[in-house]
Amino acid sequence: MAIHPIEYRYGTEEMRKVWETDNKLQKMLEVEAALAEAEAQMDMIPKEAAVEIKSKANIEFVTSKRVSEIEAETNHDIASIVKALAEVCENDAGEYVHFGATSNDIIDTSQSLLFKESIKILKDRLTLLTKTLLGLASENKENVCIGRTHGQHALPTTYGMKFAIWADELHRQLNRLDECNERLCVGMMTGAVGTTAALGTDGLAVHKKVSEILGLKPVIISNQIVQRDAHAEFIMDLANIASTLEKMALEIRNLQRTEINEVGESFDPRKQVGSSTMPHKMNPITAERICGISRVIRAYVAPALQNNPLWHERDLTNSSCERIILPESCMLTDYIIKLSLKLFNNLIFKQDNIEKNLNLSHGLIMAERVMAELTRKGVGRQTAYALVRESSMDAYELDSGLKEIISSNREITKFLSPSEIEEIMDPHTYIGSSIQMVDNVLAESRKWF
């Protein structure tokens, strides 16, 4: 019976297949095969033995069931794989399995193969999401809305700006994955304390050859393990991605609030239910799930960092921890990227409410523009600020529009005509360089993919 929600509720099939038991076992068998092949090339083991080991180093012959049976007796995962592989090899080829290696040579190198597969899935899905946001940025670059700071109405902005900012940030996240991939996905075949002593004078050559066979970069130096700073970096990158996705989802949740109701996630009223007791509810459940799961992903940063300082050349405290945080962080991050694709590919825009909220303050959001125009007319900036601030406070107190207040202020109308005030108070024409900025992101994005 399933217990963990990843088993039945969260996660994607693509990422689940990467971290499932059979694929993990297959990757470890591939490392054992690469080791035998490299050693045969160095005349350290018979070539026919390496051929036999490679032919049997797959889950068709070495099953998870058999490995589990052996592990129940040995209480050692890698020793169980070695024995299971050795016993299916014909003649005496099994005698040469795992020669010169230690357990973590197999674990860490095979994990690099899992990381490569995981990063590819993450990048492919993040790329799709980035392209979705770029499309929304292009479509909405002239869709003027109210910008908010401290939760208060500030100045006009555009929805195109929101989406372009997020797309640009996701591009940086993609770059971080690429940079991390270079440091994380490395091969290691250096033995019990990293000296390659068991492999003799050709130890470094075997170490490099194994990585070459597997398409990995050989780690330049290690002790019994690949150092965990790169693993911590990877988890931090996933947490960073999660924080970006939460930021995006949180904005949609806020914009879907009844009091704002400008943008929201799609809702099928014929099938979907928002509440078991309140028939009217249409909740932002996709965005809320993104925000909730991102907290779990970020929580894995602390144990990932704690896995780096180990006793001497290595202890076992990182191992049990990584069995949990590595697959879960990959699966959950991939899952909320997929949720984000669903969210942003099905956004609902409420244009009437966007316009209503833009004008909700009765022109107070144009106070900065009035001040700036007065300054351009020759009024000192500090004086202009004081004039407009006084008018703004009067507008608050009298519950009146700012345009009416400044139009009756002789200190202001000495410098601004009625037609100028009319133009100044139009929020749709006070979006600065926002269209050009969005266009700049769109132009730059042609180099991204």
Residue 273 has pLDDT above 80, yes or no: no
DSSP state of 265: E
Among the listed residues 150, 276, 417, 433, the single catalytic one is 150
Q: Is the dihedral of CA 406, 407, 410, 416 positive or negative?
A: positive
Helix count and strand count (H, E) for the chain: 20, 6
CB atoms within 10 A of CB 167: 24
- Tell me the two tokens of residue 379: 């009024």
DSSP helix/strand/coil, 259: coil
Whole-number Å distance between alpha carbons of 154 and 147: 6
Region for residue 142 given its phi and psi (left: phi exceeds 0; alpha: psi -120 to 50; beta: otherwise): alpha
419 is known as an active-site residue: no
pLDDT tens digit sequence for 296-312:
999 999 999 999 999 99
pLDDT at 63: 97
Whole-number Å distance between alpha carbons of 320 and 288: 30
pLDDT at 268: 75
Across the range 227-233, mean pLDDT stands at 97
Among the listed residues 68, 266, 275, 408, the single catalytic one is 275
pLDDT at 375: 96
What does DSSP say about strands 186-187 and 217-218: parallel, antiparallel, or unpaired?
parallel
pLDDT tens digit sequence for 110-160:
999 999 999 999 999 999 999 999 999 999 999 999 999 999 999 999 999
* Identical fold, 101-355 and 361-445: no
DSSP codes joined into one string, 102-124: -HHHHHHHHHHHHHHHHHHHHHH
Contact status, residue 32 vs residue 82, Cβ threshold 8 Å = yes
Backbone angles phi, psi at 399, to 5 degrees: 55, 50
Residue 37 has pLDDT above 70, yes or no: yes
Mean pLDDT, rounded, of the chain: 95
pLDDT at 7: 85
Contact status, residue 344 vs residue 129, Cβ threshold 8 Å = yes
Please indicate whether residue 2 or residue 202 has the higher confidence score (pLDDT).
202
**Can you list the pairs that 367-372 forms with residues at least 24 positions away whose Cβ atoms lie under 8 Å?**
367/391, 367/392, 367/402, 368/155, 369/424, 369/425, 369/430, 370/402, 370/406, 370/412, 370/416, 370/421, 370/424, 370/425
Contact status, residue 196 vs residue 207, Cβ threshold 8 Å = yes
pLDDT at 155: 98
Contact status, residue 71 vs residue 80, Cβ threshold 8 Å = yes
167 alpha carbon, distance to own chain's centre: 12
Whole-number Å distance between alpha carbons of 126 and 172: 11
Question: What is the pTM for the complete model shown?
Answer: 0.94
400 alpha carbon, distance to own chain's centre: 46
Query: Spelled out in words, what is the top-level CATH class assigned to the domain 101-355?
Result: mainly alpha
What does DSSP say about strands 186-187 and 263-265: parallel, antiparallel, or unpaired?
unpaired
Beta-carbon contacts of residue 362 (< 8 Å; ≥ 6 apart)? 395, 400, 401, 402, 403
Whole-number Å distance between alpha carbons of 54 and 124: 31
For the ranges 3-7, 377-381, 385-389, 411-415, the lowest mean pLDDT is seen at: 3-7
Across the range 369-397, mean pLDDT stands at 93
Q: Give CATH for domain 361-445.
A: 1.10.40.30
Q: Is the dihedral of CA 172, 175, 177, 180 positive or negative?
A: negative
Beta bridge partners of 152: 149
pLDDT tens digit sequence for 374-384:
999 999 999 99
Beta-carbon contacts of residue 195 (< 8 Å; ≥ 6 apart)? 203
Domain residues of the chain, as ranges? 101-355, 361-445
275 is known as an active-site residue: yes
Burial bucket for residue 90 (CB in 10 Å: 0-12, 13-18, 19+): exposed
Contact status, residue 191 vs residue 203, Cβ threshold 8 Å = yes
Please indicate whether residue 398 or residue 33 has the higher confidence score (pLDDT).
33
